[in-house]
Structure 1
Amino acid sequence: MRVAAYERYGPPEVVAVSERPEPVPGEGQVRVRVHAAVVGSSDSAARSGTPWFARLAFGLRAPKRHVLGSEFAGVVDAVGPGVTRFAVGDRAFGATGIDLGAHAEHVLVAESGAVVRLPDEVGMADAAAICDGALTALPFLRDAGHVRPGDRVLVNGASGSVGAAAVQLAKHLGAEVTAVCGPTHVELIGRLGADRVIDYTREDFTQARGEYDVIFDAVGKSTFRRCRRALLAGGSFLTTVPSWAIMFQQLTSKLGSRRAVIMFTGLRKDAEKLPDLEELGTLAAAGGLRPPIERVLPLEQIAAGHRIVDCGHKGGSVVVTMAPAEHRAGPSRPAASGRMTEPAS
């Protein structure tokens, strides 16, 4: 099978397509023929070995795992002994977490892992993109922000995969949503349902005073210190990007009226991700979740996908495809379309 592999840390070009033996599912394992997988910020960090603490997870001097990719969608083509949740031919989507390996034509996952059946109404690229953004945004908003109907939520970095999902999920939870993005993505985020869209080149949202119950910084471009006055008493600042400052503030802010919260959603147990995947798949099938996709590329162009992620200004997810029909189609979706147009496979 073809995989996108790397042997050393470095720029996007260190990732290249090579051949590996097809994996054979063991006891309790499911083999998925991958149709679509995401190139995300965690893949960029793992590939480059930056920031420095990324190497604590991926290898101090050289990568421990040579095939990146966590979020995937595809079709089950083999099952190991004892498997009862899946059968050959089932459409499936999920995330491998720290095991990675999804940038390949086949991936092995435990039957008990973070993988569920994919509704027929949801395309493969969309399903992978849902795992990329919404599987992170949902626990941030629901479990850390405790978003309730009527809350006022601001999403900073709303055009990224996590931010775009957060806009839609906050609306789904009943919040009034303000979204912050660059000028090229204002129209896109408006289509996703934001009540108000702020172009950060024209307005600084941190100058607001006592306006929001939750500020979700989905891209780590702001700080609790800058945002604190924009929060209402009892409000929460959430961020996806770890730093020594946010770690300290998470501890000390418990003594004040406004909280700082960092979560490591990728490290959640599979048992915690499973119900979220089911919920997100159902929501997407009903048209309530539309993940914008910046670009769809064949596996051979994965280095280009990494370059897009590295630039830091993508509108939604970057998806690579493996299925032969999708190879012929090439980049079949317009940038940041947010439409769910792929045929069921």
Structure 2
Amino acid sequence: MAEVEKPVPNADEVLVKVLGISVNPADWHSMRGKPLFSRATLGLLRPKHRILGVDVAGQVESVGSSVVRFKPGDEIYANLLDHGYGGFAEYVSVPVDVSSLKPSNLSFEEAAAVPMAAVTALQGLHYHGTIRPEQKVLINGASGGVGMFAVQIAKSYGPEVTGVTSTGNIDLVSSLGADHVVDYTRTDFVADRQRYDLILDTIGNRSAHDLKRALAEGGKAAVVGFTSVPKFMGVSLRGGKHIAMVSAHAATKDLELLSELIQTGNVRPQIDRRYPFDEIPAAIAYLEHGHARGKVVVGVA
């Protein structure tokens, strides 16, 4: 913990009093510098950003000279992945183009759980185009932070959704709306005879060959987040199949769409654990173990 100067927003930014934070894999990847190829963007020898934290929710305290969308007192949420991090603090300057009004039916901590994970799920699912009701969609890692949003978002478009998870999370994934749940400790979805029109791999632990086998003719797969090796840079395969590695980048339009889905009850953040502000290191350590069921959030008193 350290005292730092209070930020001053630029013309296109708002100063936010942070009231909720979400912990993401991006934070511990930045701390560890792993996988090694990530150091090209996260910092070669030490973390590029002094203050980590990309997901924030809070109240606007002041606005930059060119800001017209927000005013002091507005409750907003935002993602700072492409804008210097800085969310693990009492105040942070936030660009308006990665911000949206907070859904009124969420607390600040719940809202902070949304931007990174839900936008990643949304952009991964839509990378190859709009989901159609007649499709069969598979979510690998359906009980993780991204996966839980992916199941709900995919189901809102009407397709048949299958979630892949561990034994202890079967009921949880079913409760999110998945039509089928595969227990990976007992069944390998690749070896199964079922084939899918769209696969969203939130884990990155399957090879291109595995994903190809699980795809139907003309099927598409998107791999999101960090993988051990950058294997999926856009691979077209026989039968019209395609596999791509997708990097999510938050934008206001995506957050506004998610706000609509949340307000209508189609999507709801699932919180695994809550930590106080002075226990952020413990929150990151818990997430790094890889067994979080949903999101890990931090409250800022």
TM-score of the two chains, using structure 1 as the length reference:
0.83
CA–CA separation in structure 2 for the residues paired with 1:127 and 1:28: 22
Q: Helix, strand or coil for the counterpart of 2:213? A: helix
Match runs of 1:1-345 below 5 Å? 17-98=1-82, 99-111=84-96, 113-144=97-128, 146-209=130-193, 211-240=195-224, 241-242=226-227, 243-247=229-233, 250-251=234-235, 253-254=236-237, 256-266=239-249, 273-322=251-300, 324=301
Q: Helix, strand or coil for the counterpart of 2:252? A: helix
Q: Deviations over 1:279-330 (max 9, x none)?
A: 10121122111111111111111111111111111111111121x2xxxxxx
Contact in 2 for aligned 1:224/1:237 (Cα 8 Å): no
CA–CA separation in structure 2 for the residues paired with 1:80 and 1:146: 36
Contact in 2 for aligned 1:159/1:181 (Cα 8 Å): yes
Q: Helix, strand or coil for the counterpart of 2:134? A: coil
Q: Deviations over 1:31-71 (max 9, x none)?
A: 01111111111111001111111211121112221111111
Q: Deviations over 1:229-253 (max 9, x none)?
A: 2211000122114534323xx23x2
The number of residues matched between the two structures is: 298
Q: Deviations over 1:186-220 (max 9, x none)?
A: 11111110001111111111112352111211111
Partner amino acid for 1:245? K
Stretches of structure 2 that go unaligned for 5 or more consecutive residues are: none
Partner amino acid for 2:232? I
Partner amino acid for 1:296? R
CA–CA separation in structure 1 for the residues paired with 2:10 and 2:195: 54
**Which structure has the highest helix share of the two?**
1
Contact in 2 for aligned 1:145/1:238 (Cα 8 Å): no
Contact in 2 for aligned 1:209/1:229 (Cα 8 Å): no
Partner amino acid for 2:177? G
Stretches of structure 1 that go unaligned for 5 or more consecutive residues are: 1-16, 325-345
Deviates more, 1:135-144 or 1:149-158: 135-144
Q: Helix, strand or coil for the counterpart of 2:153? A: helix
Distance 1:210 1:201, change over 3 A: closer
**RMSD value, Cα:** 1.6
CA–CA separation in structure 2 for the residues paired with 1:132 and 1:264: 11
CA–CA separation in structure 2 for the residues paired with 1:255 and 1:227: 13
Q: Helix, strand or coil for the counterpart of 1:149? A: coil
Q: Helix, strand or coil for the counterpart of 2:72? A: coil
Q: Aligned-pair distance for 1:146?
A: 3.8
Q: Aligned-pair distance for 1:166?
A: 0.6
The percentage of counterpart residues that share the same residue type is 37
